[in-house]
């Protein structure tokens, strides 16, 4: 276990050390102490390592993550796991706005609640939220899957493309071109897998969720659908 005191050694030294881990490395377990809300902790990691951040973080923690498993033992500020490519990010607390924004792959797990615009413009990432999500979540989401065990705020899935949204609780309102869809056996299987990987399989059953997706009326401008814009 590599223990890094962020207060004493500084963010630049931490990220430089993590960026130097190219390919196979025997330095596979890292612990970051005294984060104290610092920004961009473990951003841009590209190595199969496990990183535990013991405390809450600021902006863009685990941004652009590739391969790494990063667990935040606290809450995360805006943009956590932004543009993530692969790997896993697990937040034991809450996440601020636009968690997982533009994520292209990997798994983001939020054990608490997520604020507004969770999963905005997601492009392949899978997100599991144990609590609630705020307004405008999954705005312009293109692909990937969002699973919400709690409730969703206003304008869920506004201008959605082909991302899959599953919500167990209530949805305050659906955004433009987002509709409820039929839950088929393949969706139940997908949900079961994500609930297990997202450490939520004991908290909910796939049959308790509703599925939402795109009505596919806004892909191209059509005068007959002008009122939907």
CATH number, domain of 181, equals 2.160.20.60
In angstroms, rounded to a whole number, what is the distance separating the alpha carbons of residues 146 and 119?
8
Q: For residues 168-198, b (16+ Cβ closer than 10 Å) or e, as one string?
A: bbebeebbbbbeeeeeeeebbebbeebbeeb
pLDDT at res. 123 = 98
* Phi, then psi, of 205 in degrees rounded to 5: -110, 145
Q: Which residue has the higher pLDDT, 171 or 216?
A: 171
pLDDT surpassing 70 at residue 162 = yes
Q: Measured on CA atoms in the order 107, 108, 111, 112, is the torsion positive or negative?
A: negative
CB atoms inside a 10 Å sphere around CB 71: 18
User: What's the domain range around 91?
Assistant: 2-228
Q: Report CA-CA distances (Å) from 179 to 104, 129, 150.
A: 23, 20, 18
Each residue's pLDDT tens digit, 165-175: 999 999 999 99
What is the pLDDT of the chain when averaged over all its residues?
Answer: 95
Total-model pTM: 0.94
Looking at the predicted structure, is the pLDDT value of residue 222 above 80?
no
Count of the separate structural domains present in the chain: 1
Cα gap 51→53, rounded to integer Å? 7
Predicted local confidence at residue 229, as pLDDT: 58
Residue 224's pLDDT is 73
- Sequence-distant (≥ 6) Cβ neighbours of residue 163 within 8 angstroms: 119, 122, 138, 141, 142, 143, 144, 145, 146, 157, 213
């Amino acid at each position: 276990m590599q223990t890094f005191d962020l207060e004493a050694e500084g963010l630049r030294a931490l990220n430089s050390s993590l960026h130097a881990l190219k390919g196979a490395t025997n330095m596979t377990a890292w612990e970051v102490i005294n984060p104290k809300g610092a920004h961009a902790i473990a951003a841009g990691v590209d190595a199969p390592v496990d990183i535990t951040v013991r405390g809450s973080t600021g902006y863009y923690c685990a941004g652009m993550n590739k391969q790494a498993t990063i667990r935040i033992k606290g809450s995360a500020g805006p943009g956590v796991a932004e543009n993530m490519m692969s790997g896993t990010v697990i937040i034991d607390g809450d996440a601020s706005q636009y968690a997982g924004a533009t994520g292209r792959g990997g798994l983001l797990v939020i054990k608490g609640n997520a604020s507004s615009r969770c999963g905005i413009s997601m492009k392949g990432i899978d997100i599991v939220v144990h609590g609630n999500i705020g307004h405008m979540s999954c705005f312009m989401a293109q692909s990937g899957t969002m699973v919400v065990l709690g409730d969703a705020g206003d304008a869920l899935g506004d201008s959605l493309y082909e991302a899959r949204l599953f919500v167990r609780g209530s949805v305050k309102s659906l955004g433009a071109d987002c509709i409820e869809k039929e839950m088929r056996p393949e969706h139940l299987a997908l949900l079961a897998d994500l609930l297990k990987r997202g450490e939520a399989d004991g908290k909910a059953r796939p049959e308790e969720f509703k599925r939402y997706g795109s009505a596919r009326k806004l892909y191209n401008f059509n005068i007959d659908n002008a009122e939907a814009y």
